[in-house]
Amino acid sequence: MSQVLTVSCKLKASQSQAAKLDATMEAFGQALNWVNQNTPEKIVNAVKLQSLCYYEIRARFGLSSNLAQQVCRRVAGARKVARQRNRPVKEFKRRFVTYDARIFSFREKDWTVSLTTVEGRERFELAIGNYQRGMLAGSNPKSATLVKRKDGSYYIQICVEKKPPKQQDTDKVIGVDLGRIDIAHTSEGKNWNGQQLNRVRDHYSRLRAALQRKASKGTRSSRRRCRQLLQRLSGKERRFQAWVNHRISKAIVSRAKTTNSAIALEDLTGIRERVNQQPRSKAERRRANSWAFYQLRQFLEYKARAAGVSLILVPPAYTSQTCHKCLHIHPDPAQSYRSGKSFKCGHCGWEGDADLNGANVIALLGAAVNQPRGSGLFCSLVGQSRLRATESPLRTA
């Protein structure tokens, strides 16, 4: 099964070419909004949309046949996603155009791309580095998206299909515990402390609050300026989060590949909704909800696959309360051996970092999944008798 990766490449566009790209993006954006506003919202099939408004799109906006079809596909796709989230598609931005193999082509010999515009076909040189050249070398991309950034530069996001390497067979597993105090902590003891990140996020929160107060009052120009600053601030914080998550995921996958290990993560799907039911202060709620843990998981998934590293998702229940040495949990459900960042087992006496303990428990669970013959997860301090099923959720049959 192939893996689709996106390679972002900057375009070198002359003044006349830039005008053609701007005209194409403007026409494409207008067509998207016109189709969305003038067709029934319940239609999410691209073929049905095309039968309703294909000729009108071409006549109104001067788009080529294939670009008109791309408009219908884009609207249909956006409506399907919006239906899953139970909200309508309001408006499309006018800073992008989607392409397929009929209206886009890549040529490796001179590192150029050919794109269809409202004024015909144009060829553009790519301003790229060694990383992009390595990703594009020997590929035959079938689709791409043209975007215009706020600084006025043009980028083509090329989708490249690559066959990932075969996942390495191994009995070794690196457990990764995700959290707020430590963004990630591995079972090998490597951790990425979140204190500096919390300071950055708190700074952004205070700045947003001040700008929102100013945006709600003052002169018309000052309100407009505050809204512009809020939008810029949102993009800056989002890019900061992505940069940190890229750095963490790259280091974890590189370590796993070097040591011929698999990676085990907790499946935290729905954790935000469950945690938000607990009584907490507004600041704690914001800190818990502001970091993109799902993005970190996505980065780990696609990087591990590209590197041939297995990634295992394990249930998160009791991973922070179980001692990784003896697999014992506090007998009183209202109490725990964990206290903040410290963990002290009352059964075997092990004491240390709570996140390190959790990462080791996750590694044990990952090994249980990764070893079909079983991992021998049982408490060693109960003698030769077998554990009852109620004594530890980590017991395996």
Domain ranges of the chain: 3-162
The pLDDT assigned to 269 comes to: 74
The pLDDT assigned to 287 comes to: 53
Sites in the chain below the pLDDT cut of 50? 380-397
Question: What order of strands is seen across the sheet that includes strand 3-12?
Answer: 96-100, 143-148, 154-162, 3-12, 120-127, 112-117, 104-107
The pLDDT assigned to 106 comes to: 96
The pLDDT assigned to 272 comes to: 57
The pLDDT assigned to 67 comes to: 96
How far is CA 2 from each of CA 166, 201, 306, 353, rounded to the nearest angstrom?
11, 37, 10, 40
How far is CA 353 from each of CA 125, 321, 357, 362, rounded to the nearest angstrom?
53, 12, 6, 14
Angle, vertex CA 205, rays to CA 199 and CA 210, nearest 5: 130
Distance CA 59, CA 304 (A): 47
